[in-house]
A and B are shown apart, each in its own frame.
Chain A
Amino acid sequence: EDKVVQSPLSLVVHEGDTVTLNCSYEVTNFRSLLWYKQEKKAPTFLFMLTSSGIEKKSGRLSSILDKKELFSILNITATQTGDSAVYLCAVDSLNTGTASKLTFGTGTRLQVTL
């Protein structure tokens, strides 16, 4: 059974800090790892990673995947209060055929204070 473990479970930082969120996984026939941000209701897509060592970047957010060690990190630099959310990591397996049958972790709850 596919498994995703995220750490820390929650984190409180001051605005301007840099944070690193961790995601380790076990999956048969890995296809991709995805990061989503969930502020109140709907998770919104951040990144999809398929290859080791290639950093994906969007503004102050970046992510990288290590397929040998089976983990990914999500970095947020110069955090802002608007970054406060639950960050979800998910994996997708080739075993699911054409479906995005994602296995999610429990998420990291990030709170950014002034």
Chain B
Amino acid sequence: DTGVSQDPRHKITKRGQNVTFRCDPISEHNRLYWYRQTLGQGPEFLTYFQNEAQLEKSRLLSDRFSAERPKGSFSTLEIQRTEQGDSAMYLCASSRGYTGELFFGEGSRLTVL
């Protein structure tokens, strides 16, 4: 059990650029989540995968955001045409079935200039 890993840990980009984050969940965890956390706030749900199927998307996830989980293993979160309001910590979490306990990665911090 090597934990949930995310890459990159920090990304600085200019407004209008595209960025992609990767998440490698704990092996054998079939559920994968993306959350977003801004300074001083709790994490907010973005999207959820069960195996390779994206089963839930938040209204926070605008058309500029897309997430994939090919083959039900790692996942990517892409943000197109970034805006300053996208600056946040993007947290990935995984779980095996429903236990309520999510295992979070250390996050990918996005700064949009």
Q: In the bound complex, do residue B102 and residue A100 qualify as a contact, i.e. CB atoms below 8 Å apart?
A: yes
- Give the CA-CA distance A88 to B56 in the complex, in Å: 23
Chain B residues within 8 Å of chain A by Cβ, number: 28
Contact with B along A26-69 (1 / 0, CB 8 A): 00000110100000111111001000000000000000000000
Contact partners of B86 in chain A: CB under 8 A: none
Contact with A along B81-106 (1 / 0, CB 8 A): 00000000101000100111111111
Stretch in A14-22, A70-78, A103-111 touching the partner: A103-111
Q: In the bound complex, do residue B41 and residue A100 qualify as a contact, i.e. CB atoms below 8 Å apart?
A: no
Chain A residues within 8 Å of chain B by Cβ, number: 26
Q: In the bound complex, do residue A90 and residue B42 qualify as a contact, i.e. CB atoms below 8 Å apart?
A: yes
Q: Is B21 an interface residue (CB 8 A)?
A: no
- Give the distance to chain B from A63, nearest Cβ to Cβ, in Å: 13
Per the 8 Å Cβ criterion, residues 1-48 of B in contact with A are: 4, 31, 33, 35, 40-45, 48
- Give the distance to chain B from A100, nearest Cβ to Cβ, in Å: 6
Q: Is A99 an interface residue (CB 8 A)?
A: yes
Can you list 6 residue pairs at the A/B interface with Cβ under 8 Å? A42-B105, A44-B104, A48-B100, A97-B55, A104-B42, A104-B43
Given contacts A41-B107, A90-B42, 8 further A-B contacts (CB under 8 A): A41-B106, A88-B43, A99-B48, A100-B33, A101-B45, A101-B48, A104-B41, A106-B42
